Structure 1
Amino acid sequence: MPTSPMKAAREVRPPPAADDAPTGPGLLIGERIDVRAFGQADRLATGPMLVRAGNNRAAAVLRYGAVVLFNMSPDDEAALIEALRPFVTEPYNDWDAETATVSLRAGDEGPVDAGGTIYLSEITVERLQIVATVLAKSVVLAFYEKLLASVFDRIEPLARSLGRRGHTGREGRALLRQIGDVLLMQHKMVGRVEVAEKPDLLWDHPELERLYARLQDEFELNDRARALDRKLDLISRTAATSLDLLQNRRTLRVEWYIVILIVIEMVLLILYETFMAPRG
């Protein structure tokens, strides 16, 4: 995997309307967050966990390393991220940002306009949890999309080199490392985010299923996850085919060594029989 970790973010900017909704950035700050240990006293809700972060401010903290901050100033955000550090496994350093807006609009639930504004009919804890879940999944997908593009760029010349020359040295070892990266990425995506799974919150609040479905569709979560799966599968098959080719060439070389040894043995035997064997 890359030596310098990456952090992705979808920033939610304040709405231009008068009825401002609580907004803030969504960040991927590390591999994992111990949500059980963080925010016990100020917890507003679970699944995902929503904690109070001051007057009219809140943060959603998700176990797979994502945080979505609502209605917080840059100083508030920095303070909360600093408070989270002891609970973060393998913290990241840098992030990319995407922008969106949350705005109130009576009778409208979940559409996202061309400018990236998410419309909610009202602001409730449960709706903020839904928004946080979708933003967090989108941020993680963006992280893996960039990571996978980097792996793809590295594995293609290795596979081409092995297919053309069949070298067994540095290219083979590098290709094995890339296969390990891909397998680790698949494991993390399946066990970490569960993009295709609906949040547990919907079991208790089925009336929010439409909101979740619309946001899931607007942010193309399932389509992006399937695209990542296809690319991961392609990389795995490309690497496996290249390694099979490499192994076959090594096997063929060994077989030729055996044939040569047999020929040498036969020549030596003939020479012995011709010149060295005792004459009767």
Structure 2
Amino acid sequence: MDGMIEEPSERTTLLSDNPYGNDSVGDGESRAGSRNSVIGKKSKSIAQTLGPGMVPQRSSRTSQKLKLLPESLNYESEVGDAKQLSLQRIKDTPARKDAERLGKKQRSILPRVTAYCTAGSYRMRDLIRWLQDKKRIHSTAPKLFDECIYTPFAYKDWRHSNGAQDILRNIGQKKKEDNAVMDNKIIRFDDEGGEIDLGKLSTDLFIFEYGVLVMWGFSKKEEGAFLEDLARFENEKLSDEDVQAEEFNYYVTQSYQPRIYNDFISLRDDSNYMTKLSISYAISQSVKISLFEELVDNTIEDTQDIPQQISQTGKVEMAKGEIMKSIGELFILRININLHGAILDSPELMWSEPQLEPIYQATRGYLEINQRVTLLNQRLEVIADLLQMLKEQLTHNDDEQLELIVIVLIAAEVLVSLINIIVDLIAGKKR
């Protein structure tokens, strides 16, 4: 199909679904509603009303899917063979125990990774200047990576009440019910689980030019505050009901290999923003696809009566103006999606920083981006078929009108000829 979104090939395939065999995973409940259209005032509802409400677009929300994140090159070079063997021996039990424990209760304890698609694009030059001006207030240090701005960003006045430090307070309150073992800022969810470090929690922003923001370590209050500030830099601002959001949780542990499981992301180093950048690229693409999926689904739902009309009456019972309007809306949708199709390809950064490619591809695989792009293309084909059908109906209507005009002209010509013949006959008799 002309204009079809290009589906990139997945060059890295890492591990498969549930690695823990047939054992049940406690508290690994479905999170079918994390990706949803967020309704309400942006400063409040976008950051505070994430919850169930829509059918998930990726099966990794419900299938307890695992993706291992490859170790960074620097880390691997620093770890000797003996230590690697040691890690191999200890990683199975802690990883298994943590997988059994991580669930809904732990989401209120662990820091968040939240992505929002709020606009068609952001004014990046103005935004990076604004972030540079906030260095003293929010400890910013913006860096531009192709189409992404990275910066640390701290709400210093909130850190002891609503930010990262609040996590330790939550742990203390939930210690008994969660059976979490806490030693200063190192916690365990199980006696045999991995050591989870909550001592140095950073708050990082990744702002993508195509209208997506990924936030690491922010509280809901902080997310709402930043979204208010970000609104002034938005182009093609989305309505509240069209804004897309996706939420994960993450933690830092040295006990086993970094991974994504049941929407929990484990890292070795919270300060490694390049690893976070790789993961954020894939998450931002997933959220953008969610917007496309919803637009396509809504369009198909709004136009599903048209094929039914044709099957029942043999024609589209719409006025020419309505047909033209529908054609225009469908065409605009296809253009918008295909113009943004390049967003769904591998970022140029992965070519200049090839060590980030495996992490990006692993995250992309977990989020099922390639499969969702394929499904999106199939739905675009349905829209293309409907568009073609409406064009043919419009052409058919025009042909019918032309045929009617020709028939009227022929009838008029025949009538005039008959009148002339009658007049000639009458005139001949009088002579």
Question: For residue 371 of structure 2, what is the aligned residue in structure 1?
Answer: 223
CA distance in 1 between partners of 2:153 and 2:303 (Å): 44
Deviations 1:51-78 (A, max 9, x none): 2211621211111111111111222212
CA-based RMSD of the aligned residues comes to 3.2
CA apart distance, 1:212: 0.9
Bigger relative contact order, structure 1 or 2, given CA contacts below 8 A and separation 6+? 2
1:37 equivalent to 2:126? Answer yes
Equivalent residues of 2:121, 2:211 under 8 A apart: yes
SS of the equivalent of 1:46 reads: strand
What is the identity, as a one-letter code, of the residue corresponding to 2:127?
F
Alpha carbons of 1:183 and 1:264: their partners in 2 closer, same or farther (altered >3 Å)? closer
CA apart distance, 1:7: 5.5
CA distance in 2 between partners of 1:190 and 1:249 (Å): 30
Equivalent residues of 2:119, 2:236 under 8 A apart: yes
1:236 equivalent to 2:384? Answer yes
What is the aligned counterpart of 2:236 among 90, 100, 109? 90
What is the identity, as a one-letter code, of the residue corresponding to 1:23?
R
CA distance in 2 between partners of 1:91 and 1:267 (Å): 62
What is the aligned counterpart of 2:153 among 53, 69, 73? 53
What is the identity, as a one-letter code, of the residue corresponding to 2:265?
I
Which region of structure 1 is more displaced relative to structure 2, 44-53 or 184-193? 184-193
1:265 equivalent to 2:413? Answer yes
**1:103-182 pair list within 5 angstroms:** 103-106=251-254, 108-109=257-258, 111-113=259-261, 115-123=262-270, 124-161=272-309, 164=313, 166=315, 169-170=318-319, 172-182=320-330
Question: For residue 3 of structure 1, what is the aligned residue in structure 2?
Answer: none
So what's the TM-score if we normalise by structure 1? 0.81
CA apart distance, 1:90: 3.4
CA distance in 2 between partners of 1:167 and 1:275 (Å): 46
Identity between Structure 1 and Structure 2 (%): 15
Equivalent residues of 2:248, 2:264 under 8 A apart: yes
CA apart distance, 1:136: 1.2
Alpha carbons of 1:210 and 1:14: their partners in 2 closer, same or farther (altered >3 Å)? farther
Which region of structure 1 is more displaced relative to structure 2, 29-38 or 188-197? 188-197
Equivalent residues of 1:195, 1:222 under 8 A apart: no
Larger of the two Rg values belongs to structure: 2
Aligned residues: 269
Alpha carbons of 1:102 and 1:178: their partners in 2 closer, same or farther (altered >3 Å)? farther
Question: For residue 159 of structure 2, what is the aligned residue in structure 1?
Answer: none
Mind listing any 5+ residue stretches in structure 2 that lack a counterpart? 1-36, 40-45, 51-102, 133-139, 157-201
CA apart distance, 1:219: 0.5
Question: For residue 226 of structure 2, what is the aligned residue in structure 1?
Answer: 80
CA distance in 2 between partners of 1:188 and 1:265 (Å): 51
Question: For residue 207 of structure 1, what is the aligned residue in structure 2?
Answer: 355
CA apart distance, 1:198: 1.2
CA apart distance, 1:104: 3.4
Alpha carbons of 1:228 and 1:175: their partners in 2 closer, same or farther (altered >3 Å)? farther
1:100 equivalent to 2:248? Answer yes
Equivalent residues of 2:350, 2:357 under 8 A apart: yes
SS of the equivalent of 2:340 reads: helix
